[in-house]
Amino acid sequence: MASVTESMAALSSPSSSRFGTSVSRPSMMISSPAVSLSIRRNLPVSKGLKIQSSSKLSFASSNWRYSRVSKHKCCIVCEAQETACDIPSVTDKTWQSLVLKADEPVLVEFWAPWCGPCRMIHPVIGELAQQYAGKLKCFKLNTDDSPSIATQYGIRSIPTIMIFVNGEKKDAVIGAVPKTTLCASIEKFL
């Protein structure tokens, strides 16, 4: 930051012009990162969060204090809730019956509640469960609640998605990957 401040100071001094002409001193010197960020005016403007009231949905604008919705009892709605599908959980006790003895291929997502990428991929797994209903069973396993299974299958990073066929691990995908990557992996075993 010191080099930016020094270069601004050098540009503002009359003797620092490359062409021998004097440069006028700027009206405001940059002295801290907060000031330099406030000078930028071309940042994208947020349209706000979706606000749900008892009567209707609307978007909160920058002047939310004066909007009609703020007078009513309202709450902020996450649109991802509408698309999320509840994926059944599997535990140490149910692992054998739900995954290893399943008649059809099984997709298991190894996750943890504190994992951000895991929360990003949950809706994708929900969509896959709906898309492949009847052909593939989808489950999620919380690695904090069932560490023995995670250790047994060598889970070192989450999210990890594994596909089992006839109780045998066939494929593993590590990380929050696009839906197309998971579809390609699933299609190999259907």
In the three-class reduction of DSSP (H, G, I as helix; E, B as strand; rest coil), residue 34 is classed as helix
Instruction: Kindly report the number of other CB atoms within 10 A of residue 142's CB atom.
Output: 18
Dump the DSSP string for 167-190.
TEEEEEEESS--HHHHHHHHHTT-
Burial 105-127 (b: 16+ CB within 10 A, else e): bbbbbbbeeebeebbebbbbbbb
Q: What is the DSSP letter of 52?
A: E
Catalytic residues, by residue number, are 115, 118
Instruction: Kindly report the number of other CB atoms within 10 A of residue 60's CB atom.
Output: 18
Beta strands in the chain (DSSP E): 50-53, 57-59, 74-76, 106-111, 137-142, 160-165, 168-174
In the three-class reduction of DSSP (H, G, I as helix; E, B as strand; rest coil), residue 9 is classed as helix
